[in-house]
Amino acid sequence: MEFRRLGETVMNLSIIGFGAWAIGGKRNATGWWELGPADDALSLAAIHRAIDRGVNWIDTAPGYGLGHSEEIIGKSIRGMHDRPYVFTKCGYVWSDDRVVTNNISTASIGKEVDDSLRRLGLDSIDLYQIHGVSPENDHLIDQAWEALFRLKEQGKVVHIGVSNFNVARLQRIQSIAAVETLQASYSLLDRSIEDETLPYCQRRNIGTIAYSPMQTGLLSGSITRTRMDAMASDDARRFNPNFKEPLLTVNLGRVERLRHLATEWNTDPGHIAVAWTLRSTLVTGAIVGFKSPAQVDEMMADEYFELSDAQLDAIEAIGWTDFVERS
């Protein structure tokens, strides 16, 4: 496994990180989680298998299963002598009737971090991130970032970062405290960070973590028209333009061409999609969602994540940039 330093932090990360959103349970049509069935034993086994295969960081958030993902991670690392880094977030909270809202007030962040520390069983969180900011809360960004900086001073978190921030927002908070990391969507189907965000992060030495490198499973090769037809009506992907016509037909054609390349290179489409995301060292690591040890083994089958120039040309020849839609 290759390791890369995350910006100016002290952390050298495996280029693949364990994405813990899926182990939270069942998602609803809005993309947020319900209290539904989850195979916790399988989730725990997946985390341990990933660690055995060299993955040294886990990314989660309170909203993943309304705290359930963090609880499973806490169980998985309890008593572990050499535990992986644990990253979590703040900014999304839920009511007693499980309605999720964006809240980045200082008071809310203070409560969230304590709740996360309790669920994770940690004294300090390795990386704490603002998960996202709704338009109506834009005026609270400065005080939210100040709150994260205070948590770092108090020792409740080691490093602080943001998720889903554009350059304007990064510049806005940089004068308050250094932005150490950015987590952003990045894949063959979503290159929106390439023109401005990645170069800005490079200039400021902000570590960049890519999420959804397989575009919510679309680039994994597992999504077919038959599977789409059988997909539950409340599956959040049904509301994603990349999974709806006319883009669905275009994207399935792209993935089929990617599948042909994967066969030729003795790998699978998802592996290629992740390797493409990691082709530049401007991306420190990619978050890959695992729900079972088998999925970990499939992704780590050869631990080969380097593409040649000829392979990159073949991937680009498929044509990905005529339409970009975020998940």
Distances, alpha carbon 95 to alpha carbons 5, 14, 116, 203, in Å = 38, 36, 16, 40
DSSP secondary structure string, 114-131? Answer: HHHHHHHT-SSEEEEEE-
Scanning 121-246, the segments in alpha helix (DSSP H) are 141-154, 167-174, 197-204, 225-230
CA–CA distance, 2 with 13 (Å, rounded to integer): 8
H or E segment at 262? helix 247-264
Contact 188, 320 (CB under 8 A): yes
Q: Given the structure tokens 């603002």, which residue do they identify? A: 130
Is 64 an annotated catalytic residue? yes
Provide CB contacts within 8 A for 289, sequence distance 6+. Answer: 19, 20, 21, 22
Angle formed at CA 132 by CA 127 and CA 206, multiple of 5 degrees: 45
Active-site annotation holder among 64, 85, 92, 200: 64
Positions marked active-site: 64
